[in-house]
Amino acid sequence: MSESAVATRRSLARDLRALGIDAGDLLMVHASVRSIGPILGGVNTLVQALLDAVSGTGTLAAYVDWELGFDPDLTDATDPTLADDIPAFDKRIARAARAYGIFPEVLRTWPGSVRSDNPEAGVSAVGPRAAWLCADHSLSYGYGDASPYAKMVAARGKVLLLGAPLDTITLLHHAEHVARIPGKRVRRTRRKVLVGDAPRWVAIEEFDSCDPVVEGLADDYFARIAEAALAAGNGRRGTVGRADAYAFDAAALHATGVAWLERSS
């Protein structure tokens, strides 16, 4: 796309197909919408183009997390009198974390969107396999075997980055979970969630997804794993609008991540 051109639904779908996005794909998307450049119709057009690329048989997904508006761990620890006022996680209204841009919230609120039950490892999806992908998402170890990420790998889905850095691939937390490496950091939290229609405090355990999962790993090791996958031919580089874009086979990327972690830890 030239510097003066505006991306359209058709041009974006064409770029996506050139990157290897096909009808029927189960596709997890990380997007920096601004990086794509001007889009006729804005982010809604991007979602429509993605749906066009995977056609009516494909499913779009995004990591959404949860926009809390406060630090629940800090609040709970420093002022326990606020415990009753801390809002419970309700997936019907929990907004996607703004730190990941506008795309996750747009997909979460798209007609027919489904959201998984885990507050912070949560995924939203649209399409025929959305309900299956988001079902039965474990509260503890939400990147593990009972997660949408495990299903993405098992179903040989794809991971797409649109202007997003290579170190933002959430699927690689599943590789952290699976990899047989010593000394994994474990993070323990308490979250108030709706159980039925009643708020309840629950204890949640997770391998640390905020810092390197074990001591000694570089902060950018997700990017290093992604580069290794590209070098092995398990991903493709291209351009969507003005954005640098990458498409990965989820199973191959996961296998690269597990092998890299076990070799480097």
Looking at residue 100, the DSSP 8-state letter turns out to be G
Count of Cβ atoms closer than 10 Å to residue 238 Cβ: 15
Asked whether residue 208 is assigned to any structural domain, the reply reads: no
Q: How far is CA 193 from the centre of its chain?
A: 21
Per the structure, the count of domains in the chain is 1
The model's pLDDT over 91-119, given as tens digits with 9 standing for 90+, comes to 999 999 999 999 999 999 999 999 999 99
How wide is the angle at C-alpha 216 spanned by C-alphas 214 and 218, nearest 5°? Answer: 100
Confidence of residue 246 (pLDDT cuts 50, 70, 90): very high
Asked whether residue 201 is assigned to any structural domain, the reply reads: no
Arithmetic mean of pLDDT over the chain: 94
Residues of the domain holding 240: 9-67+95-182+213-264
Measure the CA–CA gap between 165 and 222, rounded to whole angstroms.
10
Half-sphere exposure at residue 165, Cβ-oriented, CA atoms within 13 angstroms = 9
Measure the CA–CA gap between 146 and 160, rounded to whole angstroms.
22
**For residue 113, what pLDDT is reported?**
98
Asked whether residue 123 is assigned to any structural domain, the reply reads: yes
Asked whether residue 13 is assigned to any structural domain, the reply reads: yes
Confidence of residue 76 (pLDDT cuts 50, 70, 90): low
The model's pLDDT over 141-199, given as tens digits with 9 standing for 90+, comes to 999 999 999 999 999 999 999 999 999 999 999 999 999 999 999 999 889 999 888 99
The model's pLDDT over 11-67, given as tens digits with 9 standing for 90+, comes to 999 999 999 999 999 999 999 999 999 999 999 999 999 999 999 999 999 999 999
The helix/strand/coil state of 70 is coil
**For residue 132, what pLDDT is reported?**
98
**For residue 134, what pLDDT is reported?**
98
Contacts of 88 (CB under 8 A, 6+ apart): 192, 193, 194, 199, 200
**For residue 120, what pLDDT is reported?**
95
The model's pLDDT over 188-240, given as tens digits with 9 standing for 90+, comes to 988 999 988 899 999 999 999 989 999 999 999 999 999 999 999 999 999 99
